[in-house]
């Protein structure tokens, strides 16, 4: 070229040498020089476009492929390459059309069938993608990418047992194929083989350090969803060995630490993340939540105010679940949820086609949850699941969480007509399954709670969609039609703060299984309590504790002689912080007693009865824990707040006719706690009353609750069938609900709207 810089052949050869040696940017420059010297050289334009695609410049690649095709319409590589570019630009429909046209014009062209499968997969048509990929492997059995496409389609269709051999066949044809190693890793995760999955994903990163990290991250988060935080932590750690500065992997590792309750380590990881990228979405809120898990209140007021202000500005400062813990504004909480939904739950193809079925069949109700196991959601709702009238309702469970092997899990599986374990499936695959099953009403029991997957419902798999139980507030989503509540947690005047229409149940919006069986309590010494003295208790999670309420608790201990505060067992760092907070308020830390975890719930319930009074937290109340307290006969003192999360305990008390134990102010809360401690006969009367009503109070009548819920389902479906828009619904109390399995006489007694 020194002798003749206009020699196109020389530049062409140079481009080939540079590309083969991995100098892609220089190879692009050489190809561009050829294009200047020989603008009609379509083969060079194809090479240039392929290099641009390798550099992550799909738009430039597409324009160059188009130019090559214009000069040589029958050039198969250029036409196939532009399909790659279209897929990289997230234009699957255009790519699919291009595949069909190319296959019509040149049926024998290689690899286009596998690209067609990928386009169908991107269009969220897993069944069609599976058929297309299968055809590709038959026509071109030696094409490794065809087998990769088959594996990806099988995974999307929820068939990991079919995906794994497809990826392994691809690797037998091309052992260094990075996306085949990545796909195999995902298939192994879906098959419950996490250790092998991590090794497969590590091999993928070794082959393509940048190109397959998305699969590694997907696998890590899937391990978390499946209840394997230790494996997820190892996976993220393996990725960080290859890419130490990978922020998403650092964030994933922190989330895994949080899932393992290793909050002190998570705090260190979050500090590192803040140093690397303070602008990371939701980082401030997650960091503050970890502080609260450690009972570190060093900047409580400043942090709560800062997070609220940032949420009002529309920033991704905090996630809805962690925000409700410390925020006391319904308007703020709706903004937080709406910001989160806009970021995390947007989909391209809402409104999946439903399979037609007979109009006179039972109403199909699907419950979506990651918590069909030994978890608060299942503990509360199991009686409702079991009580459904099977002559009128066909129930489906869509389980997106782990099988913990517990008896409650087995009992939950038995309580549904159909139990589907779908944790390994993508959001769209689960939504497609719901649509194929023609679910009429889907109830999301998770929402924005840990493990919740509200994005599934963004695809609109069912005509009517309801939020219930798992998340105490609005989901902020236009794809959720109703929220199940009661007038105590959402006063009618507060409906403006909810994106959903409200279903008002007559008693309480929190279900409960039958009250725990009466078991003789252990001695106080066995439970770790002193031989004498008043026992205040609070078994809420540590993140619900706040300095303002702790101030009250410490004053109570100083006012009531020999009293103690019995708390849930927490981490060493949290105990240390609580000891410091108690000492700072003039209370001997030894008066804080921690209840170690018991092997069974029955053992916990038996010792729970030793408490005299349960002291609630604010602004996030006791929910399941307050139900447990009332069920074992321990009165609860709470304070009515302004948000859903801060009014649940009040609702529970009202359902037991003990609304007077819910106060308006912290001063009243403190005085009531003192008055009861100084009047042991009053406490004894309250405990005796709770023991008497434990089988008759609406709170513990899951059959009654189910009948009310079924009446709501019947009416909201009837409204949909009449073409009406969702609107506020009041369910009228049924004093004598029909027997659990013989509900032929259930009547739909509603007022369309009682106004505000």
Q: How far is CA 57 from the centre of its chain?
A: 33
Looking at residue 39, its pLDDT comes to: 85
Whether residues 611 and 488 fall in one domain: no
Looking at residue 743, its pLDDT comes to: 33
Whether residues 539 and 419 fall in one domain: no
The answer as to whether 255 is a domain residue is no
- CA distance linking residue 451 with residue 422, whole number of Å: 13
The answer as to whether 294 is a domain residue is yes
CATH of the domain at 570: 3.40.50.2000
Is the sign of the CA dihedral 160, 161, 164, 165 positive or negative? negative
Looking at residue 644, its pLDDT comes to: 98
Query: What's the CA dihedral at 192, 193, 197, 198 to 10 degrees?
Result: 100
Looking at residue 741, its pLDDT comes to: 33
Looking at residue 736, its pLDDT comes to: 52
Whether residues 333 and 306 fall in one domain: yes
Domain boundary among 284, 319, 344: 344
* 3-state SS class at 464: strand
User: What pTM did the predictor assign?
Assistant: 0.85
Instruction: State the residue for tokens 């790659």.
Output: 84
The answer as to whether 244 is a domain residue is no
Whether residues 495 and 620 fall in one domain: no
CA-closest candidate to residue 278, choices 298, 286, 218: 286
Domain boundary among 344, 375, 402: 344
Q: Consecutive sets of 10 residues in the chain, 756 residues long: mean pLDDT of each?
A: 63 80 84 84 86 87 89 86 90 93 87 92 88 94 94 89 95 94 92 89 85 88 90 92 90 94 92 84 95 96 98 97 97 98 88 79 95 96 97 97 94 98 88 94 96 95 97 97 98 98 97 82 95 97 97 98 97 97 98 94 93 98 96 96 98 96 98 97 96 89 96 97 97 66 31 32
The answer as to whether 410 is a domain residue is yes
Whether residues 386 and 461 fall in one domain: yes
Greatest CA separation found in the chain?
108
Per the structure, how many domains does the chain have? Answer: 3
- CA distance linking residue 362 with residue 150, whole number of Å: 37
Domain boundary among 694, 724, 742: 694
Whether residues 674 and 552 fall in one domain: yes
The answer as to whether 328 is a domain residue is yes
Whether residues 408 and 499 fall in one domain: yes
Whether residues 297 and 408 fall in one domain: no
Whether residues 380 and 480 fall in one domain: yes
Q: How far is CA 343 from CA 85, 316, 461, 476, in A?
A: 26, 9, 20, 12
Q: What is the 3-state secondary structure (H, E, C) of 578-593?
A: HHHHHHHCCCCHHHEE
CATH of the domain at 725: 3.40.50.11380
Which of left, alpha, beta for 502 (phi over 0: left; psi -120 to 50: alpha)? beta
Query: What's the CA dihedral at 290, 293, 297, 303 to 10 degrees?
Result: 40
CB 506 within 8 A of CB 708: yes
Whether residues 314 and 444 fall in one domain: no
Q: Token pair of 371, please? A: 């918590």
Whether residues 458 and 558 fall in one domain: no
Instruction: State the residue for tokens 């009228």.
Output: 732
Looking at residue 252, its pLDDT comes to: 93
Q: Within a 13 Å sphere around the CA of 667, how many CA atoms are in the beta-carbon half?
A: 0
The answer as to whether 28 is a domain residue is no
The answer as to whether 146 is a domain residue is no
The answer as to whether 656 is a domain residue is yes
Please, what is the angle between helix 178-190 and helix 160-173, to 10°?
Answer: 160
Whether residues 324 and 356 fall in one domain: no
**Residues spanned by the domain of 572:** 535-694
């Amino acid at each position: 070229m020194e002798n003749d810089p206009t020699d196109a052949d020389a530049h062409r050869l140079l481009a080939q040498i540079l590309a083969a040696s991995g100098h892609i940017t220089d190879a692009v420059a050489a190809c561009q020089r050829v294009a200047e010297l020989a603008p009609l050289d379509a083969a060079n334009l194809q090479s240039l476009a392929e290099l641009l695609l390798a550099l992550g410049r799909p738009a430039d690649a597409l324009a160059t492929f188009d130019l090559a095709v214009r000069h040589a319409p029958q050039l198969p590589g250029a036409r196939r390459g532009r399909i790659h570019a279209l897929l990289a630009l997230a234009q699957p429909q255009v790519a699919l059309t291009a595949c069909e046209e190319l296959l019509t014009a040149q049926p024998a062209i290689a690899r286009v069938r596998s690209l067609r499968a990928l386009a169908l997969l991107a269009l969220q048509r897993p069944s069609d993608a599976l058929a297309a990929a299968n055809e590709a492997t038959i026509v071109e059995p030696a094409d490794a990418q065809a087998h990769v496409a088959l594996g990806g389609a099988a995974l999307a269709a929820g068939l990991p047992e079919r995906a794994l051999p497809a990826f392994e066949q691809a690797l037998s044809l091309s052992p260094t194929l990075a996306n085949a190693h990545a796909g195999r890793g995902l298939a192994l995760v879906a098959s419950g083989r996490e250790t092998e999955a991590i090794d497969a994903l590590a091999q993928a990163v070794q082959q393509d350090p940048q190109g397959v990290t998305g699969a590694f991250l997907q696998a890590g988060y899937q391990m978390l969803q499946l209840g394997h935080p230790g494996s997820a932590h190892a996976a993220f750690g393996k990725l960080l060995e290859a890419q130490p500065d990978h922020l998403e992997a650092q964030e994933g590792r922190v989330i895994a630490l949080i899932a393992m309750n290793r909050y002190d380590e998570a705090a260190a990881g979050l500090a590192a993340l803040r140093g690397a990228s303070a602008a990371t979405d939701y980082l401030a809120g997650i960091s503050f939540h970890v502080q609260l898990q450690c009972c570190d209140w060093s900047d409580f007021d400043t942090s709560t105010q800062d997070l609220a202000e940032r949420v009002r500005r529309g920033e991704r400062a905090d996630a809805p679940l962690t925000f409700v813990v410390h925020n006391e504004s319904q308007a703020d909480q709706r903004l937080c949820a709406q910001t989160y939904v806009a970021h995390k739950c947007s989909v391209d193809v809402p409104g999946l086609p439903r399979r037609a079925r007979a109009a006179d069949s039972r109403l199909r109700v699907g419950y979506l949850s990651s918590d069909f196991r030994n978890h608060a959601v299942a503990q509360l709702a199991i009686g409702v699941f079991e009580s459904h009238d099977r002559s009128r309702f066909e129930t489906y469970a869509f389980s997106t969480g782990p099988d913990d092997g517990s008896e409650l899990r087995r009992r939950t599986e038995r309580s549904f007509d159909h139990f589907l374990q779908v944790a390994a499936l993508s959001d769209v695959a689960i939504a497609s399954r719901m649509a194929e099953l023609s679910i009429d009403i889907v109830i999301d029991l998770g929402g924005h709670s840990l493990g919740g997957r509200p994005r599934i419902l963004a695809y609109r798999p069912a005509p009517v969609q309801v939020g219930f139980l798992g998340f105490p507030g609005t989901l902020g989503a236009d794809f959720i039609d109703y929220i199940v509540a009661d007038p105590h947690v959402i006063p009618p005047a507060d409906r403006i703060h909810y994106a959903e229409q409200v279903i008002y149940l007559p008693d309480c919006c929190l279900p409960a299984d039958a009250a725990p069986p009466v078991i003789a309590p252990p001695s106080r010494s066995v439970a770790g309590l002193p031989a004498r003295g008043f026992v205040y208790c609070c078994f809420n999670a540590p993140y619900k504790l706040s300095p303002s309420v702790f101030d009250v608790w410490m004053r109570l201990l100083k006012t009531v002689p020999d009293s103690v505060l019995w708390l849930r067992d927490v981490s060493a760092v949290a105990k240390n912080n609580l000891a410091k907070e108690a000492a700072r308020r003039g209370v001997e830390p030894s008066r804080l007693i921690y209840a170690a975890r018991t092997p069974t719930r029955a053992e916990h319930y038996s010792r729970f009865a030793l408490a005299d009074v349960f002291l609630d937290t604010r602004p996030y109340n006791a929910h399941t824990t307050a139900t447990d307290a009332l069920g074992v006969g321990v009165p609860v003192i709470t304070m009515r707040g302004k948000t859903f999360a801060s009014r649940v305990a009040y609702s529970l008390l009202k359902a037991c006719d003990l609304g007077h134990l819910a106060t308006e102010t912290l001063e009243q809360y403190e005085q009531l706690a003192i008055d009861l401690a100084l009047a042991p006969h009053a406490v004894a009367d309250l405990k005796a009353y709770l023991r008497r009503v434990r089988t008759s109070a609406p709170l513990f009548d899951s059959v009654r609750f189910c009948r009310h819920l079924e009446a709501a389902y019947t009416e909201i479906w009837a409204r949909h069938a009449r073409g009406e828009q969702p609107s506020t619904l009041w369910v009228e109390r049924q004093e004598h609900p029909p027997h659990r399995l013989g509900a032929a006489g259930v009547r739909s007694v509603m007022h369309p709207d009682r106004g505000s």
